[in-house]
């Protein structure tokens, strides 16, 4: 451990920070965090008053105090972020004043806007504005006044659902609302901040890109590639990049910031690598990196990469090895200090694990093969970096998404070099487009040439990505693993690379032992598999009935009005009121009655025809109908499950 701290001193700060955030989020709420902070400060203070004779034996005291202080500090920061995202909204519409802080995102029937409310309280919400022309004129920083009933986020309650509530909380949002055209109006005021100003510049850049005369796919691709704006990408295009293992090129991150760094390092290479002029070069590069981060809207991914390269540049200015594991730990610490919730961001986890894997594993692969040919050497370097990054992130990808791109190494070797060329090709197109209004003859001659080159490169990239997606077994899907399995898989990867590095049998034995336990977890999961369940899923506005098998949905034909086969339970589904004129002297006894579609059901009429112990209202019935039926069931003393409110209803088979 002492060797690790000597190599990565920032780990002294990062470990207690991560531990504090994790414990606060998943185990216990640390109520008196300030007491922990004060205790840490006290221990550090005591370490300064120890006699010289005992300083060596008590040298751990300052480190322990620092650990406790950072632990308490990050607990306080975490609690502050939780409080910012918690807000109990009024049950009736409320007048609010807020500021649009992001570029509005067009949806099929609305525009989604991130709004920072300033009155009556300070919170962030997602407002869905009715689609109309005036919404297109909204820019980040515009203040709006609106009347709305704001609702907290809610999961659908299906067994296979993504935890949307936690996701939005981690991103600092408190609630959501829908605003019709008559319920909101701009005040004419504008609010400025660094983030809002960056979003304004980003929106102007997106509008400027429209002048490139690209088709929709090419425009959406170049917007994502250079500005990190992915909302124009179609689902088909996004899936193609995911399946090919090249989705990382669509999120402005380390690759893109690294290319920008390379461009400016080349432009100012005449300043040399040492001395005062080298310091000036690094300062210029740092300024250029942060300017690029500003233009891309200060997105979290580009901020992570920019911060890491900034710390590395400072190291180079001081004549040290700039990009190291300590640089990575320092960047992670500062990002968590600014926003502790970043720890739960999948992008944060994957980007830092990818860089950690590259720094740790790439030298191992490079030592296995050292070609003399420059082209082969560059290709091998790209291959080793790609393999190292994927080795680090594929356990995380399997855990969160249950997918793994089989041909990622081929795709990255083809796509990544082209991505750099495309970014370079954008520079003359941007300059020539800006000079178009001046009507220079040379601009009219050069613009079609560079425009054709840019379009051709984008065409090639999209074709390659789509081709790789269509290859057999291009993607392993539906293979999710648990958190424990993810940690074990990461440990196996580390021990394998460690064995190739040091050739120690202990590493091999540890890896093989962990592999055995990893396989046993699947055996245990198979033995403790949950039974097949009939499920009435929550899908707002629709009736969604099927089977839930091995954490996947399986559908079968379900009659609109009729019995659903079950070995031990009688289940009847009704989707209309055709029964209303039926008369019977003896009600039909059934176990579960599922009501769908029709909000005009009457529980009094139903109880005259059916005798049941459980009513299930599926999500196809409008909310007002479900509320009325719930009240009628309560009066009659019948158990009622509202799928739209209580989540999916499950019956074991």
Average pLDDT over residues 500-521: 87
Q: In what helix (H) or strand (E) does residue 562 lie, and over which residues does it extend? A: strand 562-564
Q: Does the pLDDT value for residue 586 go beyond 90?
A: no
**Which has more pLDDT, 274 or 114?**
114
Q: What percent of the chain has pLDDT over 70?
A: 96
Q: Does the pLDDT value for residue 452 go beyond 80?
A: yes
**Which has more pLDDT, 404 or 252?**
404
pLDDT at 310: 83
Q: Does the pLDDT value for residue 6 go beyond 70?
A: no
pLDDT at 473: 79
pLDDT tens digits along 427-437: 888 888 878 77
pLDDT at 436: 76
DSSP 8-state code for residue 603:
H
pLDDT at 323: 64
pLDDT tens digits along 369-380: 777 787 777 777
Q: Does the pLDDT value for residue 4 go beyond 60?
A: no
pLDDT tens digits along 217-227: 888 888 888 88
Q: What is the spatial distance between Cα 342 and Cα 334, in angstroms, rounded to a whole number?
A: 11
pLDDT at 523: 87
pLDDT at 320: 64
Q: Does the pLDDT value for residue 3 go beyond 70?
A: no
Q: What is the spatial distance between Cα 6 and Cα 556, in angstroms, rounded to a whole number?
A: 61
Reported as a pLDDT band with limits 50, 70 and 90, residue 263 is confident
In order of 318, 524, 573, the CA distances from 199 in angstroms are 34, 50, 51
Contacts for 510-515: CB closer than 8 Å, 24+ residues apart:
514/488
Q: What percent of the chain has pLDDT over 90?
A: 16
pLDDT at 319: 65
Q: What is the spatial distance between Cα 653 and Cα 650, in angstroms, rounded to a whole number?
A: 10
Helix (H, G, I), strand (E, B) or coil at 530: coil
Contact 641, 593 (CB under 8 A): no
Q: Which of 74-88, 150-164, 313-327, 618-632 has the lowest mean pLDDT?
A: 313-327
Q: Which of 202-211, 320-329, 447-456, 633-642 has the lowest mean pLDDT?
A: 320-329
Average pLDDT over residues 494-514: 85
Average pLDDT over residues 528-548: 89
pLDDT at 633: 92
Q: Does the pLDDT value for residue 254 go beyond 80?
A: no
Q: What is the spatial distance between Cα 357 and Cα 193, in angstroms, rounded to a whole number?
A: 36
pLDDT at 579: 67
Average pLDDT over residues 605-624: 90
Average pLDDT over residues 462-466: 89
pLDDT tens digits along 547-565: 998 878 888 888 888 899 8
Q: What is the spatial distance between Cα 82 and Cα 340, in angstroms, rounded to a whole number?
A: 10
Dmax (CA) for the chain in angstroms is 101
Reported as a pLDDT band with limits 50, 70 and 90, residue 582 is low
pLDDT tens digits along 277-329: 888 888 888 888 888 888 888 877 788 778 888 877 877 776 666 567 888 88
pLDDT at 273: 72
**Which has more pLDDT, 321 or 235?**
235
| Dihedral sign from CA coordinates of 552, 557, 558, 562 | negative
Tokens standing for 53?
A: 């004779």
Q: Does the pLDDT value for residue 208 go beyond 90?
A: no
């Amino acid at each position: 451990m002492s060797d690790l701290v000597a190599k990565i001193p920032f780990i002294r700060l990062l470990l207690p920070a991560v531990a504090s955030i994790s414990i606060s989020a998943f185990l216990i709420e640390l109520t008196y965090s300030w007491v922990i902070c004060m205790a840490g400060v006290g221990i550090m203070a005591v370490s300064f008053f120890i006699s010289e004779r005992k300083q060596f034996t008590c040298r751990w005291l300052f480190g322990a105090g620092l650990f406790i202080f950072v632990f308490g500090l990050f607990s306080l920061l975490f609690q502050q972020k939780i409080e910012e995202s918690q807000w109990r909204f009024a049950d009736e519409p409320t007048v609010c004043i807020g500021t649009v802080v992001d570029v509005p995102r067009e949806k099929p029937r609305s525009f989604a806007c991130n709004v920072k409310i300033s009155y009556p309280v300070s919170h962030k919400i997602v407002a869905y504005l009715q689609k109309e022309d005036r919404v297109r004129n909204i820019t980040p920083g515009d203040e709006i006044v609106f009347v709305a009933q704001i609702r907290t986020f809610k999961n659908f309650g299906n067994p296979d659902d993504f935890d949307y509530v936690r996701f939005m909380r981690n991103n600092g949002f408190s609630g959501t609302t829908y605003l019709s055209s008559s319920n909101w109006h701009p005040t004419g005021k504008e609010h400025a901040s660094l983030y809002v100003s960056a979003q304004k510049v980003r929106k102007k850049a997106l509008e400027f890109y429209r002048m490139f005369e690209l088709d929709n796919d090419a425009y959406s691709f170049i917007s994502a590639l250079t500005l990190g704006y992915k909302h124009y990408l179609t689902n088909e295009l996004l899936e193609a990049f995911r399946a090919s293992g090249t989705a990382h090129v669509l999120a402005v991150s380390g690759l893109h910031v690294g290319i920008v760094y390379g461009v400016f390092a080349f432009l100012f290479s005449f300043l040399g690598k040492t001395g005062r002029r080298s310091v000036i070069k690094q300062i210029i590069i740092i300024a250029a990196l942060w300017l690029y981060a500003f233009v891309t809207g200060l997105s979290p991914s580009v901020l992570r990469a920019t911060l890491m390269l900034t710390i590395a540049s400072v190291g180079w200015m001081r004549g040290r090895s700039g990009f190291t594991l300590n640089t990575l730990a320092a960047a992670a610490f500062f990002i968590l200090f600014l926003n502790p919730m970043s720890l739960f961001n999948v992008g944060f986890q994957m980007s830092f694990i990818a860089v950690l894997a590259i720094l740790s594993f790439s030298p191992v692969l490079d030592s296995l093969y050292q070609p003399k040919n420059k082209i082969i050497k560059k290709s091998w370097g790209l291959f080793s970096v790609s393999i190292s990054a994927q080795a680090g992130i594929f356990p995380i990808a399997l855990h969160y998404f249950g997918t793994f791109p089989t041909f990622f190494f081929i795709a990255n070797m083809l796509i990544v070099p082209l991505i750099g060329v495309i970014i370079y090709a954008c520079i003359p197109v941007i300059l020539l487009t800006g000079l178009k209004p001046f009507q220079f003859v040379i601009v009219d001659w050069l613009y079609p040439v560079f425009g054709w080159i840019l379009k051709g490169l984008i065409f090639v990239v999209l074709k390659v990505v789509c081709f790789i997606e269509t290859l057999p077994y291009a993607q392993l899907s539906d293979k999710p693993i648990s958190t424990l399995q993810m940690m074990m898989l990461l440990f196996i990867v580390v021990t394998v690379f460690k064995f190739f590095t040091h050739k120690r049998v202990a590493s091999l034995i540890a890896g093989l032992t962990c592999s055995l336990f990893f396989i046993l977890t699947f055996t245990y999961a198979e033995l403790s598999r949950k039974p097949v369940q009939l499920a009435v899923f929550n899908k707002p506005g629709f009736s969604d009935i099927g089977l839930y098998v091995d954490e996947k949905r399986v559908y079968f034909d379900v009659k609109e009005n009729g019995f659903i086969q079950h070995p031990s339970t009688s289940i009847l589904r009704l989707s209309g009121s055709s029964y209303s004129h039926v008369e019977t002297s003896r009600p039909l006894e059934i176990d579960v009655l599922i009501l769908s579609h029709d909000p005009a059901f009457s529980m009094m009429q139903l109880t005259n025809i059916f005798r049941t112990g459980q009513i299930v209202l599926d999500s196809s019935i409008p909310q007002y109908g479900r509320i009325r039926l719930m009240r009628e069931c309560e009066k009659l003393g019948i158990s009622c499950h509202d799928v739209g409110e209580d989540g999916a209803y499950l019956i074991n088979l």
